[in-house]
Amino acid sequence: MSGPRDLAELEARAKAGDAQAQYVLSAVLGRQGRKVDSREWLRRAVAAGHPDALFTQATNILSGIDGPRDVKRAEQILRDAVAKGSQAARRPLAVMYALGVTGRVDWLKAIELIVDAALASHAPAQRELGLLIEMAAPNDPRAAFALLQAARGGDGLAAFAVIRRSARIATGASHDELMQWSEGLRAGNHPLAHYLTSNVTTSASPRAASLDRSELLALLREPPGLRIPIRNEVSDGPRVLRIEKLMTAEECEYVVGAALPQLNPSMVTNPMTGQAVRIPDRSSSTASLAPLYQDLVIHCINLRLAAAAKLPYENGEMLSILRYDIGQEYTPHFDFLGSKNDPAAQYETAGQRVRTLLVYLNADYEGGETEFLSNRLKVKGNVGDAVLFYNVDAAGNPDLSSRHAGLPVRSGTKWLASKWFRERPYKL
């Protein structure tokens, strides 16, 4: 909106019953801080059946903005939004099917939603599809094609992936496109913008590719990318295993970019009150990727991490992405739960926190090793390498030798993915 006159015209159209104007007016008023008026115009747009208004209402319900979270109601509204033509609604609905949050797990329905949204030129779905294809069939030209279409549709995460690929393979993007996307990502403070260089390849075209619905559904009929590299034990007290290249460099960069909007100062749970609090011992920033706010790419990564831990996917807590800047650290601590009375810990239902899996998402930093205090073992992986350690002994009791620390970063920025696993299914 450029001024009061435009706003007045928009209000006039909204009052006349224009559902699109009602939806846009709701968004404008929300940005102005007029929350009550914004909700009223969203309600009217929903009542008129506007597909993107339905999508917005469902995401508000999932986030608890307009009252208690109601996943089943949100799912039904997302279904309605898809039926009325919202491509954006297909992505969260796909995650719901993949997780089975209101019924049984239905991966095929989930992937159908993403493929159909991508074929309808929805840029985030094109990006998601490209990365899923890469998981299923590395170097398949359809992955590059989908990512390029997503980047041209304005998707920043896809643009980053295309630029990074352009240093080693032809992507089909022009030099001007690559430079424009690089400038936009730097201006948008992408956390890995320093990786973007002028070393790009544009002289040759990529292998020909097309996106055929039936072929894509056949390729992605099962969650891709679940093969686990060899686990190598490096310590038996505490029990620590290293897993090389558990994630690809592209996947590592993707989760860092996806986590950026959700980064906040890292917190710990006060065992007496159950409240999350900030303490000097943990000076990093964290983004916890809740299941219903992720996509199928991150869902498949979570499935792989659970397989690497040799525990059911349902036992995993939220995937957390941590950023440690120079001087930041996590002082010596245990990951097991010390109090069965902690109301935030779900101890009675989910049990003890038995294993921790860390994935090193970058390597261009100094310091920042994970150190186990009992035997002075220090671990630092290359990009995509993981360390898995046990927080309890063979009898299930807390293992006091598992005390560990994230040492201070001396230069650069350390990015780390962290996943805790419980004895039993954890309710997210």
Q: CB-based contacts of 396: which residues, under 8 Å, 6+ apart?
A: 352, 354, 423
Looking at the predicted structure, is the pLDDT value of residue 344 above 80? no
Q: Percentage of residues in the chain with pLDDT exceeding 90?
A: 78
d(CA 122, CA 201): 26
pLDDT at 4: 62
Alpha-carbon distances, residue 428 vs 178, 260, 282, 289 (angstroms): 39, 21, 23, 11
d(CA 181, CA 156): 8
Strands 319-324 and 414-422: antiparallel
Kindly state the DSSP code that residue 94 receives in the 8-state scheme: H
Is residue 264 very low, low, confident or very high in pLDDT (cuts 50, 70, 90)?
confident
Average pLDDT in the chain = 90
pLDDT at 279: 47
pLDDT at 49: 96
For the residues 300-323, what does the mean pLDDT come to? 96
Strands 377-379 and 370-372: antiparallel
Weakest mean pLDDT among 34-48, 216-230, 267-281, 314-328? 267-281
- Give the CATH number of domain 231-422: 2.60.120.620
Looking at the predicted structure, is the pLDDT value of residue 57 above 80? yes
For the residues 290-295, what does the mean pLDDT come to? 85
Alpha-carbon distances, residue 315 vs 292, 302, 347, 355, 420 (angstroms): 16, 11, 12, 10, 9
Length of the chain: 428
For the residues 180-194, what does the mean pLDDT come to? 92
What are the pLDDT digits (tens) for 203-220?
A: 455 566 789 999 999 999
What are the pLDDT digits (tens) for 13-43?
A: 999 999 999 999 999 999 999 999 999 999 9
What are the pLDDT digits (tens) for 378-416?
A: 999 999 999 999 999 999 999 999 999 999 999 999 999
Name which of 36, 37, 56 is nearest 46 in CA terms: 56
pTM to 2 decimal places: 0.91
Kindly state the DSSP code that residue 407 receives in the 8-state scheme: P
For the residues 83-92, what does the mean pLDDT come to? 96
DSSP 23-34: HHHHHHHHHTT-
Q: CB-based contacts of 135: which residues, under 8 Å, 6+ apart?
A: 224, 225, 251, 297, 300
CA 235: distance to chain centroid? 31
pLDDT at 275: 45
DSSP 291-321: GGGS-HHHHHHHHHHHHHHTS-GGGB--EEE
pLDDT at 273: 39
pLDDT at 23: 96
Find out whether 349 and 427 touch, Cβ atoms under 8 Å.
Answer: yes
- CA-CA-CA-CA torsion sign (115, 120, 122, 123): positive
d(CA 315, CA 306): 8
What are the pLDDT digits (tens) for 124-182?
A: 999 999 999 999 999 999 999 999 999 999 999 999 999 999 988 888 999 999 999 99
d(CA 109, CA 107): 5
Looking at the predicted structure, is the pLDDT value of residue 323 above 60? yes
Is residue 263 very low, low, confident or very high in pLDDT (cuts 50, 70, 90)?
confident
DSSP 189-214: T-TTGGG--S----SSPPPP----HH
What are the pLDDT digits (tens) for 346-362?
A: 888 899 999 999 999 99
d(CA 417, CA 411): 19
- Give the CATH number of domain 4-88: 1.25.40.10
pLDDT at 348: 83
